[in-house]
Amino acid sequence: MRCFVAVDLPEEIKRGVPAIQQAFAMNGLKLVDPNLVHITLKFLGEVEERRVDDIVNALARVRFSPFQARITGVGAFPGRSIRVIWLGATGPFEELARAVDTALEPFGFERDKKFSAHATLARVKDPSLSRILAERLSGVSEVDLGAFTVERFVLKKSTLTPRGPVYEDIAEFRASQ
């Protein structure tokens, strides 16, 4: 099964996503369903079902305190030839991602070399749109969807379908108080 570790965004943040996505509604882009927008801490890829319990147990040992986060700014990866349009996320997500990396390294998952906290808004299918997208980005780059408290992260299963991915929570991991 295809899995990843993520922080879900609260509904009040997700409600602001469609207005931002409107700036990028064009052929050649695949907008992410606003209900599925999240911050990926680690993409695991294909995981054998028999390993899931061990992964859950390892992630259950990750310790973190609740923290304040903010969803602010819109940007793009990787630069000139835009492939992903994202919402920025501030807060100690990098520390949490490193703790997840450390927990999963014994299972053969490589540490992520570079982590950048973000929530994907759209995937660019046509790289020739980069110039137009850069102009549109400048119009929404200062957006601020607000703050929230991160109190949990989740291990998710992702099933790819012709209509888009379907996510299912496998396990939830709460902050230590």
Quote the CA–CA distance of 109 and 71 in Å, as a whole number.
28
Pull the structure tokens for residue 50.
Answer: 């028999």
Identified catalytic residue from 38, 104, 115, 155 = 38
Give catalytic status of residue 136 as yes or no.
Answer: no
What DSSP state is assigned to residue 68? E
Task: List the one residue out of 32, 96, 40, 102 whose CA is nearest residue 64.
Answer: 96
Cβ-contact 3, 157 below 8 angstroms: yes
Number of Cβ within 10 Å of residue 126's Cβ equals 13
14, 42, 118, 156: which one is catalytic?
Answer: 118
Q: Can 118 be counted among the known catalytic residues?
A: yes
Active site residues: 38, 118
